Amino acid sequence: MRVKIGKSKLYGKVTAPPSKSYAIRGLMCAALSNGKSRIINPLISDDTEIAAAALEKIGVRINKNDSFWEVNGGSFIAPKEGIYCRDSAATIRFMTALATVVPGKCRLVPSPALAKRPIEPLITALNSINIHCYKEGSTVVVEGGNFSGGNIEMRGDISSQFLSALLFLCPLAQNGLNIRLTTPPESVSYIKMTIDCLREFGINLDVSESFRFFSADYQKYKPASYTVEGDWSSASYLLAAGAIAGETETTGLKTDSLQGDRVIINLLQEMGAKISAKGDSITVKRADLKPIKADLSDCIDLLPTISVVAALADGQSMFYGIRRARLKESNRVSAVREGLERMQVAVTEEEDTFIINGGSPKGAVIDSFGDHRIAMAFGLLGAAIGDTVIEGAECVSKTFPQFWQIFAGIGAKAESYV
């Protein structure tokens, strides 16, 4: 699907979608709890549906209603067939860990795109505690049912999801599970989110101040009613819309959230946008934009959003800590660079630094590379300058299926066609 976008004025009040990261973490914890849990305000998207379907394959029963999902967990069976994880990195990584407590063999099958993303460090970590886990081609195979614990050492600077996956296992080890990161962790906010979710289901971990050492005594997950808060990553597009093309009010956000991407309001404010907060509502008004320098290492998903805003700021912006953005649904550093260059914006891409010389971008045809965050970010820029087409625009269904409808609802001149 293509979306053609004309120059637009964006005004309106919208509600942030529920957090994908918290919704999937809640599902995993509910699956590990013996009894009925409720995931309240679940995100309905490709990634959450994939995670739910994966859990159902190992015997978890999930009843879906409009406002909540009821999860009956605590008892697992060996799946009769492979578990297709499609493009969901969180699903294949978290399920690789959960499969260690499933009796029998689990085969986790990625899409071709997901197969390009790393999982070997997690496999190596599980092998180190005598879990038979390996790859057959791109499929991850786990022979579970004999998890007892042990000591794990792994790097902390590749993906926080590897650690989060292991943290789900920590309280299930009869002999204890101790995890030491050999390098400082990146995306600490996501680690904090996992710990927060575990706590909601009755699990308490021992965590060092440096977030490099983790352990837990044997504990049992407790069923819970878990409410999913608004997603700051998805809200970043709604907030940035006000900063570049009008005025938007976004509700359903916790200003004290553990989500690292909440810093989007600080970044937009530093760039000159007028921002006000009241309760769970954030209002952003357009203003003359200024270039900034910022470290994105703990909010790497904001790279596309803040880059398109920087393209409209007259001067040079520099973003650091961007290396891991190359390991997402696309190589986001290259995808953003190519999109901006098509819009006649000068960009310099270095290993861990991204430099944008903003000012006067021009409309262009943009390849989303099948990446939801690239599609949404360049959709925003298209609304600010007009004459833009987003190719592969349907990929927003991964995390924000209603994006184009909501975008049009706040004034975007967006027309979809095949």
Kindly list the catalytic residues: 301
The CA-to-CA distance between both ends of the chain, in Å, stands at 5
DSSP-derived secondary structure for 348-404: EE-SSEEEEEES-----EEE-TT-HHHHHHHHHHHHHH--EEEETGGGGGGT-TTHH
Distance CA 223, CA 391 (A): 43
CA 39, chain centre distance (Å) = 18
Distance CA 62, CA 50 (A): 12
Choose among 114, 264, 33, 157: nearest CA to 250. 264
Distance CA 365, CA 344 (A): 12
Choose among 99, 110, 87, 78: nearest CA to 28. 99
Element (H, E) at 213: strand 213-216
Q: What's the maximum distance between 2 C-alpha atoms anywhere in the chain?
A: 61
Instruction: Please answer whether residues 161 and 90 qualify as being in contact, where contact means their C-beta atoms are separated by less than 8 angstroms.
Output: yes
Distance CA 60, CA 33 (A): 10
At which residue do the structure tokens 């990446």 appear? 371
- The DSSP output letter for 93 is H
- Type of residue at 293: K
